[in-house]
A and B are shown apart, each in its own frame.
Chain A
Amino acid sequence: MRVSGSICCILLILPIVTHAQNELDRLLKGEIQYESLQANHLDALLRIYAFKPSTDKLSEPGELSATDLQLSLGLSSAVESKIKTRSSDKRIQQSKNRDAFQLAWFYYNERKPAQALEVLDNIEGKADGVSLSDIEYLRALLYIHAGSFKAAAKLLYELPLIDQPRGYTQYNLALAQLQSGNEERGSSRLASLGRMNTSDADLLALKDMANLKLGYRYLQQGNLEQAKASFDLVRLDGPFTNQALLGSGWTLFSMSQLKRAIVAWSLLHKQEAINDTVIEAKMALPYAYSKLGVHGKAANLYAQAVELFESEIAHLDASIEAIRKGDLNQAIINNHTTQGDDWFIRLSSRSEQAEFYLPLLLANNEFRDQADKLSQLAQLKNRIELGLTSVAASSEFARLKRKYYGTNLPAAEKELSAIDQDMKNIIPSVSQQTDTPNKRENMIPEIALLQQTYDNVLEAHKATAEYNRQLPEYSRELAELATELKGLDPKLSQAIANTGKQVEAIALTTLDRKRNQLKSYHHNALFALAESYDFATGNRQ
């Protein structure tokens, strides 16, 4: 009877406990997710470590795990050591395999295909929440990056249709086939991708990309009709419109349809944004006019191009000078308060900042990596500085408390002894009246309340005294923490300086290359201008 009673009790309590635990886990997961979305990966990771007992339930497939956060912080070696040893427990090993898969993606994104392949090759057996197709798809992408196109094409071809990540597999397969020399299959696959009917924004962009790729491929091969047909399928309001307009213009130009080429290039020419495609159109459009014998128009357009190139070169010079002075690094460092990983969005939207050609710089992976690192280091330095302020405030608080307790505790103790004596005097007389000495349940309610209050005061006093006794130890620990944090500062400053130098060097090389390119365009535009001017003014026939 007693056993069944206990079981009933447990069964009744269990849902309540489980519910509370689930609630706690849910809150914890939310907190971790929040910190991670704010790009405070370290805080998110510390939350996971702090709540270690319940973290088992956190690493369900699809949820943020310690591995996710470690990799977000670039701590690949921590994950490496985690997966190094094999476990005899099947569940643990499957979880390790998932970590290995995540690590392989990390290396893929870091453009380290050899390391990623090594990690993938070491995966034996099933991985939590990861299918074999997922692994093979990643392996194929790594083969593409490593230049093993034939092997990549084979793997992608054999992937079950159902597991293929939408159109991307088809696109990557087509690229692998083209790169491995299988022109016919690659082109036909790109063509079928370029004709798919979809309303999905991502797939529409992929469709445009397939048509663009195919268009340029046909143009290079001299298949002009096919090139035109492919460019014609690219949307006018998509991410690849400019490149398609440029390619379409050259195709029509090669087909001697100069007027139609002028239509395509005019759309590009009138754009304000200065990028490679628009710059090429600035030269291509007057060239087409000059070929039609419309030299006056061509000369005016060349003159506009010369002016634009000169102003752009001057702008680039100013940016190069500002970067040499360290303004770009300072802007990234000062931007440390930006929430999230996309620090550059806020930086590029700041009107008071000098123009650093961020879109051009961010297209360079190496720059992006180093600038990300600089931003993270600056954020860390800021966190440490804030931490030092907090430690100083806590130390001051502890000092004030010690002072306060030092003054007031002796007096409070004296007062308590007096009250204690008074209580002893009162309670025996009450006990005699109730015949049961010191039994609170038999006391007069007012006296019981007094006794309870007194007991509470005694407890609080004990705790305060204990706290006061430990205050010097807290102060010592705080001082140690402050010393450790201060010790990190020079190392961090050095790392920021080194990374800053790299950011600066890459940015200068990129902008210098751009400057040389514009110089070359400027030079050509001057010659073309002189020629068109001569034709227009009748100096040349």
Chain B
Amino acid sequence: MTSSARTISMRATHRGHTTTLCAGLLISLMLTAACNITSIEDENTLSSLEQMDINIQNEKIEDSLHKAMEPKQGAR
């Protein structure tokens, strides 16, 4: 093998290694990002209360309260 052929071959190998490394790094970054997103989404924080629906309805005054308020009403 000539010197220039050896250099090309080495460059090719080097490029191959670089591509593998880059791909590995990219995958690990993507995995990390996915994990992060999952962990943030999975976190049970107060923001999840936004999803909670509440039905605001009036109530009848309880009988016990009417009774309790009677003497006070009379006193008034």
Contact = CB atoms under 8 A, between A and B. Distances in A.
Q: Answer whether A and B are interacting partners.
A: yes
B2 interface: no
A73 interface: no
Contacts of A530: 69, 72
Contact of B45 (A233, A262, A533, A537): A233
Interface string B28-63: 000000001001100111111110101011111110
Interface stretch (A2-10, A43-51, A294-302, A477-485): A294-302
Size bin of chain A's contact surface: 20 to 34
A197 B49 CA distance: 21
Given A297-B57, A303-B62, A233 B46 contact: yes
Nearest to B64: A303
Contacts of B68: 303
B69 to A, nearest CB: 6
A358 interface: no
A197 B46 contact: no
Given A233-B47, A235-B44, A300 B59 contact: yes
A235 B49 contact: no
A199 to B, nearest CB: 7
B47 A232 contact: yes
B1 interface: no
A42 B6 CA distance: 77
A259 B61 contact: no
Contact of A244 (B39, B46, B50): B46
A537 B49 CA distance: 33
Interface string A275-296: 0000000000000010010111
A296 B47 CA distance: 30
A296 B48 contact: no
A418 B18 CA distance: 102
A406 B50 CA distance: 91
Interface in A394-428: none
A296 B54 contact: no
B34 to A, nearest CB: 13
B47 A262 contact: no
Interface string A169-188: 00000000000000000000
Nearest to A229: B47
B45 A235 contact: yes
Contact of A236 (B46, B57, B65): B46
A302 to B, nearest CB: 9
Contacts of A294: 56-59
Contacts of A231: 46
Contacts of B60: 296
Given A237-B44, A263-B52, A294-B57, 12 more contacts: A235-B45, A236-B44, A248-B46, A260-B49, A264-B46, A266-B54, A294-B58, A295-B58, A299-B61, A303-B68, A533-B69, A536-B61
Interface of B: 36, 39-40, 43-50, 52, 54, 56-62, 64-65, 68-69, 72
12 contacts: A197-B36, A233-B46, A234-B45, A236-B49, A244-B46, A245-B46, A259-B54, A289-B56, A296-B61, A300-B59, A303-B64, A303-B65
4 nearest A-B pairs in the assembled complex, by CB-CB distance: A232-B47, A297-B59, A296-B59, A296-B58
